[in-house]
Amino acid sequence: MGKAKIKTLLRKNFVSGGSAAEIMTAEEAVSLIKDGDSIAIATFFSAGVALDLIDALVLRGTKRLKIFSNDTGLPGESTGKLIESGQVDSLTVSFIATNPEAEKLVTQGKLKVNLIPQGTLIEKFRATGSGIGGFYTPTGVGTEVEKGKEKKIINGKEYIFEEAFFPKPKFAFIKAWMADKKGNLIFRGAARNFNPAVAQAAEITIVEAENIVETGEIAPDEVMLPFNYVDILVQSSGRKVRPWEFKPRGYRAIGSTKEKIARRVAKELENGDVVNLGIGIPTLVANYIPKDVTVNLQAEPGVLGIGPRPQEGFEDPDIIDAGGNPITVLDGGAFFDSSLSFSMIRGGHIDKTVLGALQVDEKGNLANYLIPGKRAPGIGGGMDLAANAKRVIIATEHTTPDGQPKIVKKCSLPLTAKGAVNLIITELAVIKVTRRGLVLKEIAPGKTVKEVQALTEPRLIIAKNLKKMDV
């Protein structure tokens, strides 16, 4: 594409607000991006990611890019390709552990990263696109996230102030299932996630669409994002990635210990609960929900009403949970975007969340996103869930792989949330967090109180009606 045509395109779409999107190839679209530009890329593992645009940008070799995205992609895929090719100068992300190469670079201090809680990140995109300067949120209070930020008590609760993105990202890469030639968009399944908010936040939005149809073929009540947020359309090759086939660094196969924990956690769920399950052991809980209990499982990409894992061969890359696992959706379930998903979480519409832990202490403080100098998996949605769910249940092995207690007197790792934990369930015990301290409610068959206490740093208060764990 010549410079004259690019200038004409810029005048048409970004000055006068043209009535139709420009249809281009991926190569033509990424030619607009220069060294040092900022790009917001909608990502959630690989669901709803503009893979063709990223591939074209990698081939073009544009350098010193400032990337805004939910995660760092998968090894050799999505934003991971840009990171591994050395084209990224800085990252503004929520989650890193999807890509071992990115995590290594961050841990070694070789990649600049601004780590933001997932709910705060999606809200920053939304605020940027809505002309809102910022917002107050309880997420991050009492953690590293609050450093240097204004704090305010509102209605008796502590909040921190988060600014929108200034300047806003120059470009956005988003993925749609269908677009008409005017630029109206439809998304499919959990692939909607960050796409609408990212499109709204950027100066120039480039859409990779699986299907491009004539204007009018999408009915007005089917439009999920209207045309005036869209500048350029690119026909997608339809290539998709199956994130569940990638195993991250440190991956350990599911064993009887983890299954035992998940089985006991499932007994805490009650009819009608809206429940969010975190990554790792918490994800397994869905397999053990009693048949006479009906719960509504929610996941951050924008899913409510998660059903069982699909049969092998029937997995859909657009329908995944927060861990990138293939799922089904039950009758009466719903898909929505990540902005609404985190509105549910922050607004108190999640009854229970089950999260993993690196450490949890006797005050109910939780650390589960960072081991300085060793691991930097990222915050993800855990900080929002821990701060805002009505009840927080920790599902974790009782000790680290080298035998050190995970239940400690005081967390030494950076906090995910302060005083948020209600219940801790391990393979050895069920422990309730109270104002008096940690109360040992149940103990694993074949174990003694002395054995459990020896692997637990703070003193345990023994319940008068101490029971054997039923797993």
Q: Is the peptide bond before 372 cis (omega within 30 degrees of 0)?
A: no
Alpha-carbon distance of 125 to 452, in angstroms, equals 46
Determine, yes or no, domain membership for 308: yes
Asked which of 31-45, 48-62, 234-248, 335-349 is least confident by mean pLDDT, the reply is: 234-248
Last residue of a domain, one of 205, 237, 269: 237
Q: Are 331 and 430 members of one domain?
A: yes
Region 47-76: mean pLDDT is 96
Q: What is the pLDDT of residue 471?
A: 76
Q: Is 282 left (phi over 0), alpha (psi -120 to 50) or beta?
A: alpha
| Residue 122 falls inside a structural domain | no
29 with 108, same domain? yes
pLDDT band at 254 (very low <50, low <70, confident <90, very high): low
**148, part of any domain:** no
Joined together, the tokens standing for residue 75 give 């090894």
Give the C-alpha separation, 374 to 406, whole Å. 16
Domain span at 429: 256-468
Q: What percent of the chain lies above the pLDDT cut of 70?
A: 94
Judge whether 432 lies within some domain. Answer: yes
Note whether 440 and 330 are same-domain residues: yes
Residue 63 has pLDDT above 50, yes or no: yes
Q: What is the pLDDT of residue 153?
A: 98
- Say yes or no to pLDDT of 7 above 70: no
Instruction: State the pTM of this model.
Output: 0.92
Give residue 2's pLDDT band: very low, low, confident or very high (50, 70, 90).
Answer: very low
Instruction: Give burial (CB, 10 Å; 0-12/13-18/19+) of 220.
Output: exposed
Same domain, 313 and 437: yes
The pLDDT assigned to 19 comes to 60
Domain for residue 422, yes or no?
Answer: yes
pLDDT at 385: 97
pLDDT at residue number 239: 96
Count of CB atoms situated within 10 Å of the CB of 209 = 24
Q: What is the pLDDT of residues 380-417, one digit of tens each?
A: 999 999 999 999 999 999 999 999 999 999 999 999 99
In a domain, 273, yes or no: yes
**Which of 210, 237, 264 finishes a domain?**
237
CA distances from 406 to 68, 356, 382, 396, 456 (A): 33, 11, 17, 8, 8
Tokens of 469: 């764990």
Which residues are catalytically annotated?
300
In a domain, 125, yes or no: no
Do 286 and 371 fall within a single domain? yes
CATH of the domain at 333: 3.40.1080.10
What value does the mean pLDDT take over residues 369-389?
A: 88
Nearby residues of 171 by Cβ (< 8 Å), 6 or more positions away:
32, 33, 37, 38, 39, 40, 202, 203, 204, 205, 206
The packing angle between helices 118-130 and 338-346, to 10°, is 120
Residue 157 in any domain: the answer is no
- Judging by DSSP bridges, how do beta strands 134-137 and 112-115 pair with one another? unpaired
Alpha-carbon gap, residue 92 to 168, rounded angstroms = 12
Residues paired with residue 407 on neighbouring β-strands, in sequence order = 360
Structural domains of the chain, count? 2
Q: Are residues 286 and 231 in the same domain?
A: no
Average pLDDT for 139-156: 97
pLDDT tens per residue across span 189-245: 999 999 999 999 999 999 999 999 999 999 999 999 999 999 999 999 999 999 988
Same domain, 324 and 420: yes
Same domain, 76 and 104: yes
Q: Are residues 219 and 109 in the same domain?
A: yes
**241-277 burial, b for 16+ CB within 10 Å, e for fewer?**
bebbebeeeeeeeeeeebbbbbbbbbbbbeeebbbbb
| Alpha-carbon distances, residue 203 vs 338, 342, 370 (angstroms) | 21, 24, 33
178 has a pLDDT exceeding 50: yes
Residue 327 and residue 203 share a domain: no
Q: How confident is the model at residue 77 (pLDDT cuts 50, 70, 90)?
A: very high
**CA-based nearest residue to 89, from 160, 150, 36, 130:** 36
Residues 327, 283 share a domain:
yes
The percentage of residues in the chain with a pLDDT greater than 90, rounded to a whole number, is: 83
Name the average pLDDT for the chain: 93
Looking at the predicted structure, is the pLDDT value of residue 426 above 70?
A: yes
CA quadruple 200, 85, 248, 365: dihedral sign:
negative
Query: Quick check: 127 pLDDT over 70?
Result: yes
Q: What is the pLDDT of residues 12-39, one digit of tens each?
A: 444 434 468 999 999 999 999 999 999 9
Q: What is the pLDDT of residues 84-109, one digit of tens each?
A: 999 999 999 999 988 888 888 888 88
Quick one: pLDDT at residue 247? 61
231 and 268 share one domain: no
